[in-house]
């Protein structure tokens, strides 16, 4: 019996390395539009990997991504407006978002299932309302200007791309370490049966808080870098509810609870969005939504778990090749 084409394991890591090299080379090979797509892919890959800790490994349907991204935007922006260098501002924003996530996780992770999902959405709305109302600090609904990065547009785009790629690779390395370590084993036990995991000695509360904090870590970093890139933020865009839905869909599309799946799903969804925006402007949302629903319902394991060798063999047979005689 033929073995499935391995997009996991060593082959998957080789393909990931080639993909990262291709994204990194885009400033030298393509125009600014393509570089912007590469930045978007790296950014969403990092956020999908972040979400994977709580949603994929632990199985908790978190919709707090937009809250962590938005808090990272504002924390980084406020630090830079007070004279903190960009890189240090990004680091401080990351620490701030992690601290908020750990504090919120200790409260909200007492909930399970759809109660937890509703609570995580509430966090997004609560943080957005706080930021919108605190006009003396955040600018309120008028938004906030962020000091622009120095350099020509091409130089700035290249710098942002390499920073986003570094964050994505850091998220990937953390995912790999968690998946192979004690934390990953504990999170998978919680995913399978949380009560049984607690009975056999897994500290479920501490493990869940760790997963929830990790789900915020790289989202906060990405948010701070994004604010420096665009130069202006406001509550509506920074805490967009669409963002908090899109990121879990990316992880589910690629393969939840896997190491490479979130990157595959984020890359596929961003490229599909760009294709449909360019060719089906009026129908792109409907077409893309239909494809996503189809893949999630009929491919629950994600793209990573497809048997690609079998698909290629069938396509070859359909192209005229004759099946071997029994």
pLDDT over threshold 80, residue 136: yes
- What domain range is 170 assigned to? 9-317
The pLDDT value given to residue 4: 36
Indicate which CATH number applies to the domain containing 39. 1.10.3470
| Tokens 């939504």 belong to residue | 289
The pLDDT value given to residue 326: 39
pLDDT over threshold 80, residue 249: yes
Distances (CA, A) of 100 to 96, 123, 207, 231: 6, 11, 17, 24
Q: Look at residue 4 and tell me if it is in a domain.
A: no
Q: Look at residue 325 and tell me if it is in a domain.
A: no
Question: Which helix (H) or strand (E) element contains residue 144?
Answer: strand 144-145
Which residues neighbour 186 within 8 Å (Cβ) at sequence distance 6 or greater? Answer: 197, 202, 203, 204, 207
Q: Look at residue 326 and tell me if it is in a domain.
A: no
Q: Look at residue 2 and tell me if it is in a domain.
A: no
More confident residue, 8 or 234: 234
pLDDT over threshold 60, residue 32: yes
pLDDT over threshold 70, residue 322: no
Q: Look at residue 175 and tell me if it is in a domain.
A: yes
Q: Look at residue 288 and tell me if it is in a domain.
A: yes
pLDDT grade for 3, boundaries at 50, 70 and 90:
very low
Quote the tokens at residue 311.
């698909």
Q: From CA 310, how far away is CA 326, in angstroms rounded?
A: 18
More confident residue, 143 or 299: 143
pLDDT over threshold 50, residue 6: no
More confident residue, 131 or 2: 131
| For residues 261-272, average pLDDT | 92
Q: Look at residue 280 and tell me if it is in a domain.
A: yes
- Percent of the chain scored above 90 by pLDDT? 61
Q: From CA 22, how far away is CA 29, in angstroms rounded?
A: 9
| For residues 225-231, average pLDDT | 94
The pLDDT value given to residue 27: 93
More confident residue, 115 or 292: 115
| For residues 233-237, average pLDDT | 91
Q: Look at residue 3 and tell me if it is in a domain.
A: no
pLDDT over threshold 60, residue 320: no
pLDDT over threshold 80, residue 96: yes
First-to-final CA distance of the chain:
14
| For residues 176-193, average pLDDT | 92
The pLDDT value given to residue 242: 84
pLDDT grade for 5, boundaries at 50, 70 and 90:
very low
pLDDT over threshold 60, residue 16: yes
| For residues 4-15, average pLDDT | 67
CB 302 within 8 A of CB 313: no
The number of folded domains in the chain is 1
The pLDDT value given to residue 70: 96
């Amino acid at each position: 019996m033929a073995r499935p084409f391995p997009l996991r394991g060593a082959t998957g890591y080789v393909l990931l390395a080639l993909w990262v090299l291709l994204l990194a080379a885009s400033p030298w090979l393509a125009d600014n539009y393509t570089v912007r797509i590469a930045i978007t892919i790296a950014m969403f890959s990092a956020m999908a990997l972040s979400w994977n800790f709580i949603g994929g490994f632990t199985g908790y349907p978190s919709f707090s991504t937009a809250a962590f991204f938005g808090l990272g935007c504002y924390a980084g922006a406020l630090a830079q407006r007070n004279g903190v260098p960009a890189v240090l501002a990004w680091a401080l924003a990351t620490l701030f978002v992690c601290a908020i996530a750990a504090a919120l996780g200790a409260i909200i992770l007492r909930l399970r299932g759809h109660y937890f999902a509703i609570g995580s959405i509430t966090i997004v709305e609560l943080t957005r309302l706080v930021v919108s109302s605190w006009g003396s600090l955040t600018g309120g609904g008028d938004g906030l200007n962020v000091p622009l990065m120095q350099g020509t547009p091409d130089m700035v785009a290249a710098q942002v791309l390499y920073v986003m790629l570094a964050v994505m690779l850091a998220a990937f390395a953390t995912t790999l370490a968690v998946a192979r370590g004690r934390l990953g084993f504990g999170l998978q036990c919680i995913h399978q049966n949380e009560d049984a995991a607690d009975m056999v000695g897994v500290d479920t509360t501490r493990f869940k808080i760790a997963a929830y904090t990790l789900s915020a870590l790289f989202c906060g970093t990405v948010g701070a870098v994004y604010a420096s890139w665009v130069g202006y933020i406001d509550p509506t865009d920074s805490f967009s509810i669409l963002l908090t839905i899109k990121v879990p869909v990316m992880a589910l599309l690629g393969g939840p609870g896997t190491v490479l799946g979130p990157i595959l799903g984020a890359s596929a969804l961003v490229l599909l969005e760009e294709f449909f925006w360019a060719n089906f402007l009026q129908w792109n949302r409907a077409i893309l939504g239909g494809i996503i629903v189809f893949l999630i319902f009929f491919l629950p394991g994600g793209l990573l778990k497809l048997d690609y060798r079998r698909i290629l063999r069938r396509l070859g047979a359909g192209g005229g090749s004759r099946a071997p005689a029994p």
